Amino acid sequence: MSPILSVRGLTVCYPNADQPAVDGVGFDLEPGATIAVVGESGSGKSTVALALSRLLNPAVSIRADALTFEGRDLLGLRREALRRLRARRIAMIFQSPFGSWNPSRTIGAQLVDGLRAAGLWPDRRERLLELLKRVGIDDPERRLGDYPHRFSGGMLQRAMIAGALVTEPSLLVADEPTSALDATVQAEILEILDELRKEQNLALMLISHDLGVVARVAQHTLVLYRGQVVESGPTAALYRHAGHPYTQGLLAAVPRLEGPRKTPLPAMPQGTATRGGCVFASRCPRAEDLCRTSAPSPRHLNGTDVACHFAEDVRREPIWRW
């Protein structure tokens, strides 16, 4: 199957920044598949998401060797074509449920705006109500007349999902869709997302800092550190034999119910990364001179692609246990 989204060498630079926020990221996403992008705050995950639908400020420079979606070059799209693409083919969900809704307009008015932009109003009215019910909003017809402050965060996020999927897009980019919600609501939302993904043969790109969330739904995972992919591969393989110290650190930092609390990663150092070396070198306990002078390129190893000079050693003797 040919990928629906193909990214090669995606590099994003904010104006006046001394290093790119996203540096040479590449991946493929197949129709109906789920890919997770993980990393700490500031790793560039959200920037990747926003770059895909070109929602970054025009002053931000986006470059890529290839950025194709359904066979079209995303970077070459003109304004109107881009707008239509956002309206029909690529949907997005954002982290902050309250901030993502206009406080002075009803939920219904805002969802209808989206349908109108897609040219699907009023044809999809029934479908919208149906979807709202599906995601767990009772009496949707009445609730559509409510203002966002009458909804809880979880409810807003559910309505957001319904609004994103009613146009039957082929790609849904979910940027930390559950981070602002309680654990119980989180699980429910993820389940709904996964169900709808299967039903609509939707490709899902899930951005998260929470590996627990990722493990539940994503077949493929990309680990981002300082804008670079340090490790990527099938989620199961990544969990079993993480070959990058950073991946191991992230896995070790996931809170668990049983057992003692695991050591967190050492804090992200200030300032710029050592130029020419491995991006993780300044934080890596295993780092040697080689790491500081030469950047490792990704190598295929036991199911994942790892960008570490000592991936074999690290895998044999994990730096952090998880």
Partner 1 sequence: MTDNRERTMRLRAGSRLLRLLASLMWILLVVWVAVSVTFVLSRIVPADPARLAAGLDAGPEQVAEVRAEMGLDQPLAAQYGRYLGDLITGDLGRSLQTRQPVIDDLLTALPASLELILASYLIYAVIGILAGIAWAYWPRGPHTLLLRFGAVIGVAVPVFWVGLVLQVVFAGKLQWFPVAGNFDFEGTGVPKVTGMGLVDTALTGQLPLIGEALRTLALPVVTLVVTHLAVTMTLMRSSLEEQLKRPYVRTARARGVKERRIVFVDALRNSLNPVVTMLGLQLGWSLGGVVIVEVIFSWPGFGLYAYQAFSAFDYNAIMAITLLSTVVFVTVNALVGMIYPMLDPRLKEAR
Residues that bind partner 1 (CB under 8 A): 53, 55, 83-88, 91-92, 94, 96, 99-105, 110, 113-114, 116-118, 147, 149, 160, 163-164
Q: Which is nearer to partner 1, 208 or 221 (CB)?
A: 208
Least distance between partner 1 and beta carbon 313 (Å)? 43
> Cis bond leading into 266, ω under 30°?
no
> What are phi and psi for residue 319, nearest 5 degrees?
-80, -40
Least distance between partner 1 and beta carbon 163 (Å)? 7
Least distance between partner 1 and beta carbon 102 (Å)? 4
Least distance between partner 1 and beta carbon 140 (Å)? 18
Q: Which is nearer to partner 1, 55 or 215 (CB)?
A: 55
Residue whose tokens read 């406080």 = 103
Least distance between partner 1 and beta carbon 56 (Å)? 10
Q: Which is nearer to partner 1, 103 or 271 (CB)?
A: 103
> What is the total residue count of the chain?
322
CB under 8 Å to 133, separation ≥6 — which residues? 140
Q: Which is nearer to partner 1, 20 or 163 (CB)?
A: 163
Q: Which strands form 299-301's sheet, in the order they lie side by side?
A: 90-93, 171-175, 203-208, 34-38, 220-225, 228-234, 304-306, 299-301
Q: 55, 46 in Cβ contact below 8 A?
A: no
Q: How far apart are CA 199 and CA 2, in angstroms?
A: 20
Q: Which is nearer to partner 1, 163 or 227 (CB)?
A: 163
Least distance between partner 1 and beta carbon 188 (Å)? 21
Q: Which is nearer to partner 1, 86 or 197 (CB)?
A: 86
Q: 160, 97 in Cβ contact below 8 A?
A: yes
State the Cα torsion 86-90-95-99 to the nearest 10°. 20
Least distance between partner 1 and beta carbon 260 (Å)? 38
Tell me the angle at which helices 125-134 and 153-165 cross, rounded to the nearest 10 degrees: 140
Give the three-state DSSP class for 65. coil
Burial class (CB within 10 angstroms; exposed 0-12, middle 13-18, buried 19+) of 267:
exposed
Q: Which is nearer to partner 1, 27 or 101 (CB)?
A: 101
